[in-house]
Structures are given as structure tokens and as C-alpha cells.
């Protein structure tokens, strides 16, 4: 058996993971390493294999093939040990509306047969700044406070690794920002975090990102590294009838995507000269103005979605 490797700087280190559900190949040859104290974000379309990948890497699902470790434990043979050190927060955390925040946490602590339950609950309340609301019924909480309760429940046993599956869906921007401040505080204290999200502002808060589509890892690195690696040329179109310009651009060679960003268009493609030439043709004799623009993570996200769909022969 593989003993826990506390000295290792890898929270997760997996190689060639594959998983089928019936005839569907959900995860394809996944190789990935996540560092301790790192927030690793998972991006990808719905049904792309993000959640299954996370569960495989943490021993919650057994791969059909491949190997690896999570927190130094073998993901195939030591899943029970892994579970003791992992906190898992799903998109729809289950809580009891007619119990208070404290009662909810105490119930979770009893389910896990935790020693010193009261001390653990008090600590979780304090860490997530819930002490003043400890007696409030969970059913009366706003989305942001319910989210804090969910995170407090996940942190009761002081896990070394947090798995967060779209944790801020339906939460207002202020609560989302506060939640991410909590995550960065946990990471600074050595907790490793895997989080799936569709929000680009959240993706940019992660230390590194993994983009997954059709079960395949398409890109891995910091937000800046992923943007640079795609080598996209991006231009902005403003003024005039940009809807008409967008229609013209869709027929132009070299233009891979045209997306509305507020009152402007973002136009991208892999061939910088071809994109510029297409723009000059499409805006000739119009009041529209064109200028080079910085390629953003959302531009790359849309590009990767389209590229992965094309590679799989799926409709774009």
C-alpha cells in the first residue's frame, strides 16, 4: 500500500485515467497534477466530464484504467483514506431548513461521528463568520449565507482537499466575491481546492485552470498561459451598425468567431492578417471603427468550445 506522502507537493497526481458509462467514453486519458495549496479551476461545457474527472482523481469513482494518487493515497486502493481528508460541496448542498445553522453543523458532525463535536462546530462557525447567525434557521438564509453554511459543513473535519462543483451558481456577485476570498484564505493555509465553474471572473481567480471537453483535457495552465497558448488575434468593432457588420463577418474567411461584448463586437481568429483583412472588408463604407483588442479568457473559452465540438464532429 502507498502511505500518505505529507511531504509531497502534489495534492493530486494522476495518469491516463479513463472512464466509460455504457458506450459513452466520459473521461479520456486524463493526466493531470494539482499542487498542494493550489486552487485548480475546471472549465468546460455541460456534460464535458468535469465532475466525473474530479471524482476519479479523488478516489470517489474507480477508473476503468489509469493510476494516480490523491494526497499521497492510491486512488484505486485507498479511497477510504482519501475520503477522510476531502470535503465535497455539490452545487445543491442539502441542508435542513427547519434547523438552525448550529443544529445543521452539529447534525453533520454527528453523522461523521466526530469527536469533540461542539468544539468542531464552534470552530467552523467562527472560521466562516457564522457565529452571530448560529441560531438562525437555515431555511431563512439568503443564497450567500446558505453557501457559507455549506462550506462550513465541508470544513468541519478540516480536510486537506476541497472539491467544489459549481458552488456559486445562483449566488449574487457580492456573495460570490466574499466566497472566493474565503477560498483564497483556505488555500493560503495549505488547503488544496478543485472547483468547477462557468464564470469567467471566477476562473481568473484560480491559480491554474484545466479546460475539459468531450472527456479530454484540452488546456492546462494559468489563465494567461492558456490565453497565450491559443495565439488568437482579437479585434474590437465599435460604432455604426455592428449587427450588419457581424453578419458580413460570418461569411469572411479567417474569422473564427464573432461575439457581442456590450456595444462592441469581439472578432477573433488564428491568422492575424486574415482577421484584419476580413474586418477591413466588412467595415468598408461603414461608420464602424476597428482596433486591436486584448484576447480575454472568455474569447479563448468560446474558441475552445468551438474547436472541441468541431474535433468531435458535433454541431457548433
Q: What is the pLDDT along the chain (316 residues), one digit of tens a residue?
A: 334 444 467 999 999 999 999 999 999 999 999 999 999 999 988 888 888 998 999 888 999 999 999 999 999 999 999 988 999 887 666 788 899 999 999 999 998 888 889 999 999 999 888 999 999 999 898 888 888 899 999 889 889 999 998 887 777 888 888 889 989 999 999 999 999 988 888 899 999 999 998 899 999 999 999 999 999 999 999 999 999 999 999 889 999 989 888 899 999 999 999 999 999 999 999 999 999 999 999 889 888 887 776 656 554 4
pTM (2 decimals)?
0.85
Please report the pLDDT score of residue 23 as a whole number: 93
Please report the pLDDT score of residue 261 as a whole number: 84
Comparing CA positions, the residue from 89, 87, 102, 78 lying closest to residue 157 is 87
1 and 74 Cβ atoms separated by less than 8 Å: yes
- Beta strands per DSSP E along 36-76: 39-43, 65-70, 73-74
Locate CATH 3.40.50.300 in the chain: 10-222
The 10 Å CB-count burial string (b at 16+, else e) for 111-120 is eeeeeebeeb
The 10 Å CB-count burial string (b at 16+, else e) for 230-268 is bebbbbbbbeeebeebbebbeebebbbbbeeeeebbbbb
Coil, helix or strand at residue 72: coil
10-222 CATH pick, 3.40.50.300, 3.40.50.10490, 3.30.1330.10, 3.90.1150.10: 3.40.50.300
Q: Which residues are bridge partners to 212 per DSSP? A: 217
Locate CATH 3.30.70.100 in the chain: 233-294
> Residue 286: CB partners within 8 Å, gap ≥ 6?
240, 241, 244, 245
Please report the pLDDT score of residue 205 as a whole number: 93
For domain 233-294, which architecture applies?
Answer: 2-Layer Sandwich (3.30)
Q: How many CB atoms lie within 10 A of CB 166?
A: 20
Query: CA dihedral defined by 168, 171, 177, 181, rounded to 10 degrees?
Result: -50
Count of CA atoms in the C-beta half-sphere (13 A) of 132: 2
Please report the pLDDT score of residue 91 as a whole number: 67
C-alpha cell of residue 76: 484505486
Amino acid at each position: 500500500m502507498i502511505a500518505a506522502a505529507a511531504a509531497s507537493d502534489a495534492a493530486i497526481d494522476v495518469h491516463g485515467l479513463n472512464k466509460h458509462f455504457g458506450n459513452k467514453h466520459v473521461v479520456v486519458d486524463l493526466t493531470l497534477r494539482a499542487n498542494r495549496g493550489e486552487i485548480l479551476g475546471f472549465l468546460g461545457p455541460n456534460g464535458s466530464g468535469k465532475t466525473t474527472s474530479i471524482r476519479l482523481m479523488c478516489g470517489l469513482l474507480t477508473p476503468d484504467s489509469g493510476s494516480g494518487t490523491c494526497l499521497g493515497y492510491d486512488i484505486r486502493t485507498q479511497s477510504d483514506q482519501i475520503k477522510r481528508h476531502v470535503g465535497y460541496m455539490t452545487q445543491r448542498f442539502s441542508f435542513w431548513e427547519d434547523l438552525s445553522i448550529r443544529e445543521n453543523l452539529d447534525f453533520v458532525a454527528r453523522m461523521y461521528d466526530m469527536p469533540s463535536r461542539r468544539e468542531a462546530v464552534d470552530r467552523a462557525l467562527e472560521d466562516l463568520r457564522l457565529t452571530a447567525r448560529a441560531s438562525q434557521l437555515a431555511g431563512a438564509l439568503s443564497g450567500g449565507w446558505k453557501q457559507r453554511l455549506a462550506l462550513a459543513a465541508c470544513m468541519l473535519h478540516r480536510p486537506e482537499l476541497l472539491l467544489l462543483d459549481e458552488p456559486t451558481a445562483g449566488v449574487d456577485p457580492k456573495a460570490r466575491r466574499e466566497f472566493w476570498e474565503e477560498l483564497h484564505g483556505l488555500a493560503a493555509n495549505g488547503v488544496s481546492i478543485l472547483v468547477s465553474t462557468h464564470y469567467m471572473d471566477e476562473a481568473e481567480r484560480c491559480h491554474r485552470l484545466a479546460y475539459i471537453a468531450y472527456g479530454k483535457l484540452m488546456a492546462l495552465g494559468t489563465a494567461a498561459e492558456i490565453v497565450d497558448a491559443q495565439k488568437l488575434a482579437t479585434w474590437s468593432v465599435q460604432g455604426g451598425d455592428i449587427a450588419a457588420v457581424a453578419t458580413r463577418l460570418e461569411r469572411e474567411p479567417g474569422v473564427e468567431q464573432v461575439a457581442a461584448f456590450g456595444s462592441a463586437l469581439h472578432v477573433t481568429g488564428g491568422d492575424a492578417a486574415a482577421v484584419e483583412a476580413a474586418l477591413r472588408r466588412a467595415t468598408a463604407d461603414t461608420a464602424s471603427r476597428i482596433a486591436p483588442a486584448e484576447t480575454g479568457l472568455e474569447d479563448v473559452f468560446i474558441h475552445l468550445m468551438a474547436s472541441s465540438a468541431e474535433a468531435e464532429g458535433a454541431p457548433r
